[in-house]
Structure formats: C-alpha cells, structure tokens
Amino acid sequence: MKQKRILTIQDISCTGRCSLTVALPIISSAGIEAAVIPTAVLSTHTGGFSGYTFRDLTEDIVPIVNHWKTLGLGFDAVYTGYLGSFKQVGIVSDIFDDFKTENNFIIVDPAMADNGELYKGFSDDFPKEMAKLCRKADIILPNLTEAALMLGEPYVGEGYDKSYIAGLVKRLYALGANVVLTGVSLEPGKLGIAAYDGGEVYFYFTGRIDGYFHGTGDVYASSFLAAYLKKGDLNKAASVAADFTVSAIEKTLEGDAERRYGVNFEECLPLLAKWLA
C-alpha cells in the first residue's frame, strides 16, 4: 500500500509544543508522511513568553509551491493551522486550488480566537476572510469563538443547550464544509465536540480538566487529521482526537514541567498509534 502524504501549512516555534512542532510528530507517528510549509519561525510560541523572536516567511511560500509543481507533488490531505495575515490566507487559498483533487481533502483549523476574543494582531474583519477560506475546505475545526465570529453572530460561551450547538454546526456547515466544533460543554465537568456532516449531529464528551494548556488545539487538529486519514470516519476521528488530547493533558499533569511549554503528547504517541492501527 502506498504511504499517504499530507501537507500542513502553519508556523513553527523552536521551543514550545504548538503548530508544526506538534503536527509533524503526531502525523508521522500514524505512518503518514508530512510535508510542511512554515509560515513563520519563532524562538518560542507566544503564550506565556516575552521577548521571543519572530520571522515572517510569507515571501517564501509561493517559491516553495512553485518548486513543488515542477516535481509533480500531490497530497492526500492539506491541513492549515494558524495563518497570521490576510496575505497568507490569500496565498493558502491559491494553494488549495493548486493541490485539491477529487481524491484528497482539505482541513482548515481557523485558529484565530478563543474565549470570545480574537488573538492579538487580528483585525475585526479577519474572520470574514477566514470564513471564505473555510468555504474551500472539506472539514473545518473551529472552537465556539471562531464559529461565532465567522458567522457574524454573538459569542455564547456558556448557558447554551444542545439545540443551540446543533443549530450552530448546521449554520457552519452551510459554509460548504463538514464541521467539528470544539470546546463544547453541556454539563459541568464535561467537555467535548459536536460533529456534523449533513446527517445527525454527533456529540462526544470527555472529563473536563480545569486549567489552560497551550497547544491543545494543535494537538487535537493534528490527531484528528491522522485519525481521519487512517479511518475515514468523521465522528470516529473527532472522538479519537478528543481522547488523545485528554491523554496528553493527563500525562502533563503527572510531571512537573511548566505548562507554558505545552502538553506532553510525545509519551502518548504509542497510544495514538495503537488506536489507529
């Protein structure tokens, strides 16, 4: 059987588990080749650190793609994470056009906001541009904040019910992609996802672990991609990724490492490989 190959487009932090430093090992552990386009390089990720270095690699993206075209490269999936500017979103949109086929799929993690607010550096009109990119995807992985912003709706962070979430994922589905909505909680002590591909809305919950853990969104998205490419089932991939992310958080809490460096997903990779075998 031919080994599968994916392309992931996002930034890389030299220290700190997020973006490409998460995506590469998780995807590789599933036996999938990962090609990368780094959009920026940072000395550390931006959560919990100050004085970090940053180099924008936007101008390198198109030359990389142009070289790949001469090689005739193709991909079983294209997966995007954090994109830092309108220009990068536009370039990535063109990359989707270049590499999309009838036999592959595109996953967009619209990483731009959380807890009701856009990340620092994004303007209020950025979610509209991200929504346009999501229209070209096969699967999108927003959290509650990103979902509301892309739909132009008020953010509802608590006090919602199952019918509200079902309506939200269906409105997102109208953008043109299957949906896995993360950060859903319908009862105390439980946190999970709602997935929708045009049939019944699928809910899956794990135990909620209090606290903020950097990079868990990237852990979730990367393990979801691996699981979906291996199993081909949206609901199964969504639940496997949730379980793997919780396992990584639990492993982190067993040690004494600083949380700002991200979660200890590395020691959980054999578990993910077993689930995906």
pLDDT at 255: 81
Q: What's residue 205's pLDDT? A: 98
pLDDT at 196: 98
The residues pairing with 168 across neighbouring beta strands, listed in sequence order, are none
Which domains are present in the chain? 5-276 (3.40.1190.20)
Q: What is the DSSP letter of 143?
A: B
Name, in order, each residue with C-beta under 8 angstroms of 149's C-beta and a sequence gap of 6 or more. 112, 113, 118, 127, 155
**Nearest-5° Cα angle at 58, 64 to 221:** 85
Q: Following CA atoms 5, 11, 17, 20 in sequence, which dihedral angle do they give, to the nearest 10 degrees?
A: 10
Q: Give the integer Cα–Cα distance in Å for 221 and 218.
A: 5
Q: Is the pTM of this model over 0.85?
A: yes
Digits of tens for pLDDT over the chain (277 positions)? 889 999 999 999 999 999 999 999 999 999 999 999 999 999 998 888 888 999 999 999 999 999 999 999 999 999 999 999 999 999 999 999 999 999 999 999 999 999 999 998 899 999 999 999 999 999 999 999 999 999 999 999 999 999 999 999 999 999 999 999 999 999 999 999 999 999 999 999 999 998 888 899 999 999 999 999 999 999 999 999 999 999 999 999 998 778 889 999 999 999 999 999 8
Q: Give helix 269-276 / helix 19-29 axis angle, nearest 10°.
A: 50
123: left (phi over 0), alpha (psi -120 to 50) or beta: beta
Structure tokens at 147: 């979902």
In degrees, to the nearest 5, what angle opens at C-alpha 255 toward C-alphas 253 and 260?
Answer: 70
User: Are 16 and 261 a contacting pair, CB within 8 Å?
Assistant: yes
Closest CA to 211 of 101, 94, 48, 7: 48
- Strand bridging mode 5-15 / 190-196: unpaired
pLDDT at residue number 276: 93
Query: Which residues face 184 on adjacent strands?
Result: 192
Whether residue 39 contacts residue 58, with contact meaning beta carbons closer than 8 Å, is answered with yes
Alpha-helical (H) ranges within the chain are 19-29, 58-71, 86-99, 126-134, 144-151, 162-173, 216-231, 234-254, 269-276
Q: How far is CA 271 from CA 128, 206, 240, in A?
A: 38, 17, 11
